[in-house]
Amino acid sequence: MTNATAQSKCSGIVDLLRVMKKIEAIIKPFKLGDVREALIEIGVEGVTVTEVKMLGRHADHTGMSRSGEYISEFLPKLKFEVVVADNRVNRTIRAIVGKARTGRINDGKVFVVPVQQAIRIRTGERGEAAV
């Protein structure tokens, strides 16, 4: 095995050890601005926000539509998704939870899952450089 081959294999192993994390946060829609500002303040970029509906432990939700009032089991929520380096996970979670918490039922949830690899499609960058 050549020295370059050995270095290449070691580099791949080091990349696997530097696992990034995907943070998914389900929050109340009116907290969008506060959470967004908190993430910007700590330098977190590349956030994806999706409108979702949550079915959880709560009373039915009453809403209004064009045809009148309706009752739904689902609550409107927003889902934030962001991938960060392992050393930024706790700070990111603190920022989200600190701004999303109202102290009332259905404030939301935060999930953290490992990400083995990230690839920026435009440049081919991999790992932390891609996020």
pLDDT tens for each residue of the chain, 131 residues long? 555 555 545 555 555 556 899 999 999 999 999 999 999 999 999 999 999 998 866 555 555 556 665 566 788 999 999 999 999 999 999 999 999 999 998 899 999 999 999 999 999 999 988 88
Instruction: Return the structure tokens found at 34.
Output: 């506060």
Please tell me the predicted confidence (pLDDT) of residue 62: 54
Q: Among 104, 102, 96, which residue's Cα sits nearest to residue 21?
A: 96
Q: Does domain 19-130 have CATH number 3.30.70.120?
A: yes
Q: What angle in degrees, to the nearest 10, is found between the helix axes of 89-100 and 32-41? A: 150
Please tell me the predicted confidence (pLDDT) of residue 115: 95
- Residues 80, 48: Cα–Cα separation, whole Å: 6
Please tell me the predicted confidence (pLDDT) of residue 96: 98
Please tell me the predicted confidence (pLDDT) of residue 63: 54
Please tell me the predicted confidence (pLDDT) of residue 47: 95
Please tell me the predicted confidence (pLDDT) of residue 74: 82
